[in-house]
Amino acid sequence: MLSPMALVEQWRAIERDLPQGWDGARLRLTVENDANCDRAAALLGPANAGRHGKVISFSAARRGVGSSADLVRRLLARIDRERIEARLELVRVDEAEAAAAAAPQSVAGDWDALSAELPADWSDVYAELELRSTDHLERAALLLAPVNPARVPDRTAFRFRVARRFGYGASAEMARRCFERLDEENIRGRVRVLRALSDTKPVYTQGPVWYVGGRAV
């Protein structure tokens, strides 16, 4: 049988309680049965979900960058159809009106906030920085060079890897320093964590590899 409240209904209940001016919502799905965790994470893959144990984290966006509320609803419906029992919780909500009234966002500060949400034993991150203006693409690419950024086609965004201890990707300290350089030149943007792994222990390799759109990153 399905859980007492299907995930689609849980999401609808969360949506009803979101403030009128909500812009983005950070969500956490806790899977009841360990055996279903891999399948639930795979079904949420299009939402750029990150998994830590039985907990799967992802975001919904009302507009712009991120998974739409409709996409989130469809993905949760797939999990319901496979009778995977889980609990959906709202972790954080971003309000568009509040963001517009706030001071320009610090890229380094954004990274700090995201880092605080990662599991304590995180080891590898695949992240994205979306710039507010195309005017800054070339300069941002230069300032971000130490993290080896890859341009996202048709968007004002770069993707890169961060390794906490060793392996592929820049160190967390180097990534933050690059973000500070962007802030110093008033280049604004928003950082998102697309994939995250915890406590990886590579053997005869420099670290894990993710496949996005059929390509290794």
**Which pLDDT score is estimated for 210?**
66
Instruction: Evaluate whether residue 178 is within a structural domain.
Output: yes
> 75, 43 in Cβ contact below 8 A?
yes
**Last residue in a domain, options 82, 99, 116:** 99
Instruction: Evaluate whether residue 154 is within a structural domain.
Output: yes
Examine the domain organization and report whether 156 and 211 are in the same domain. Answer: yes
First to last CA, the chain: 39
Instruction: Evaluate whether residue 203 is within a structural domain.
Output: yes
What CATH number is attached to the domain comprising 27? 3.30.70
Which residues have CB under 8 Å from 17's CB, separation 6+?
Answer: 90
Examine the domain organization and report whether 86 and 117 are in the same domain. Answer: no
Burial of 37 (0-12, 13-18, 19+ CB in 10 A): buried
- From residue 137, give the alpha-carbon distance in Å to each of 34, 130, 132, 149, 186: 43, 10, 10, 11, 13
Domain of residue 212 covers 103-216
In order along its 217 residues, the chain shows pLDDT tens digits of 444 579 999 999 999 888 877 888 899 999 999 999 999 999 998 888 888 889 999 988 876 556 788 889 999 999 999 999 999 999 988 876 544 444 456 899 989 988 888 888 888 899 999 998 888 999 999 999 999 999 998 889 999 999 877 767 889 999 999 999 999 999 999 998 888 887 666 655 666 666 666 676 6
**Which pLDDT score is estimated for 201?**
66
Examine the domain organization and report whether 139 and 94 are in the same domain. Answer: no
**Whole-model pTM?**
0.52
Examine the domain organization and report whether 40 and 128 are in the same domain. Answer: no
Which DSSP helix (H) or strand (E) runs through 16? helix 7-17
> 16, 94 in Cβ contact below 8 A?
no
Examine the domain organization and report whether 114 and 200 are in the same domain. Answer: yes
Examine the domain organization and report whether 79 and 114 are in the same domain. Answer: no
> 188, 104 in Cβ contact below 8 A?
yes
- Our count of domains for the chain comes to 2
Instruction: Evaluate whether residue 60 is within a structural domain.
Output: yes
Which residue(s) pair with 125 in the sheet? 162, 196
Residue 118 CA to its chain's centroid (Å): 10
